[in-house]
Amino acid sequence: MSKADEYLKQIDTLDKLKQAAIDELKGIIAEAEEKLAKLGVGVGGKRTGIKRPRDPNKKCPICGELGHDGRFHRSDKVKKKKVS
C-alpha cells in the first residue's frame, strides 16, 4: 500500500469518526431538549410578536396614532415628527 493510499484511507476513517461523533452529540442534545420540554422550559426558537404591552394612551412619535409606538415603523424610512 502506498503512502497516498494509506493517507486517503485515514481521511475516510476520520470522516466516518467525525460523522459518528456528530450523530452522538445530536442524540444527546435531543434528549436534553426533551427533558427540558418536560420541565416546561422552552429551548431555542424565534421570538414572534411583541412581548411588551403598549400604553394605549401614548401617541406614536412617528405617525401620532394612539396605542402603538415607533417600533411598528422600523422598516419605514421616515424620520420622527413631533406629536403634541
For 10-56, how does the pLDDT look when each residue is reduced to its tens digit (9 = 90+)? Answer: 999 999 999 999 999 999 999 998 898 888 877 666 555 666 677 77
pLDDT the model gives residue 59:
82
pTM over 0.85: no
CB atoms within 10 A of CB 69: 16
Taking residues 56-67, what's their average pLDDT?
80
**436534553: which residue's cell?**
32
pLDDT the model gives residue 6:
96
Region of poorest pLDDT, from 43-47, 59-63, 69-73:
43-47
Cell of 50: 411583541
Distance of alpha carbon 81 from alpha carbon 70, whole angstroms: 11
Distance of alpha carbon 79 from alpha carbon 39, whole angstroms: 46
